[in-house]
Amino acid sequence: MSILLDKKTRVLVQGITGRDGSFHTKMMMEYGTKVIAGVTPGKGGQKMNGVPVFDTVSDAMEMKPDAACIFVPPAFAVDALWESVEAGIKLITVITEGIPTLEMMKVKNHIKGRGITIIGPNCPGIITPGEAKIGILPGSIFKKGNVGVISRSGTLTYEVVYALTEKGIGQSTVIGIGGDPIIGSRFLDLLEKFKNDKKTDSVVIIGEIGGNDEIEAAQFIKEELKKPACAFIAGKSAPAGKKMGHAGAIISGSSDTAQAKIEALLGMGIPVAALPQDVAGLLK
């Protein structure tokens, strides 16, 4: 079962006529995603991969989308995000990297209490194996099952999931939440959803240096989740004060290090894998 997305979800793609948007729309549709509309200003009336294109999200709402996926370049991605928010779309996935932190803070404050879930920015997306995907996740490595996965890293998501699938361990929903300092949905937001999903029987979190989201997630897992969980934390050799890959992956204090997070997780009874491929063994 999915906590966000299934084969009935009607998806709108913003930036559908661009290089990345058109390619990944095709991949999403081939996987089974119900892409019903696209948006590119000035391209309204065209079709891309058989999908009708509109000039604005407001125009595209006649197709009744449940979710939006944003492939718009950084300079215009915030405007695209605001379009979907103001149109009332309840699930918005932002693949774009490079959105200004202060702009994301404004969006997050605006959507409080409005029932809107934003995944990203700077993320690979969401997948419900065997049903549908939104974003750039490679569908072939996923397997339908009962393990929920939440990750700050796209590449590490693929490594961990591939190892799970190779061991015959399927996934219920896999979500790449993004590596920016301000993201739409944190570990805590999604753990709450997995807690209430009867078809998810265990959870994996994939974290990295920077911030304290993993420690807050561990506290929730210990006190609220009531399901088995394990983790992998990247960045054990990362130097302090230097950004490593993601805008949010920078050690600014002793509690931001990988080792501090690993120790905190272990201290709360949550097993931590030494390598991505070891997660499958911990779940077994």
- C-alpha angle 156/158/162, rounded to 5°? 120
Name every residue whose Cβ is closer than 8 Å to that of residue 32 and which is 6 or more positions away in sequence.
7, 130, 131, 132
* Nearest alpha-carbon partner for 233 in 203, 272, 269, 264: 272
* CA separation for the pair 9, 117 (Å, rounded): 14
Phi, psi for residue 72 in degrees, rounded to 5: -80, 140
36, 61 contact by CB (below 8 A): no
* Nearest alpha-carbon partner for 127 in 36, 9, 276: 9
* CA separation for the pair 89, 74 (Å, rounded): 20
Task: Give the single-character DSSP code of 115.
Answer: T
Q: Distance of alpha carbon 138 from its chain centroid, rounded? A: 13
- Residue identified by tokens 């058989």 is 50
* CA separation for the pair 119, 84 (Å, rounded): 13
Half-sphere exposure (CA, 13 Å, Cβ side) for 176?
30
Q: Distance of alpha carbon 207 from its chain centroid, rounded? A: 13
Question: Which residues are known to be catalytic?
Answer: 246
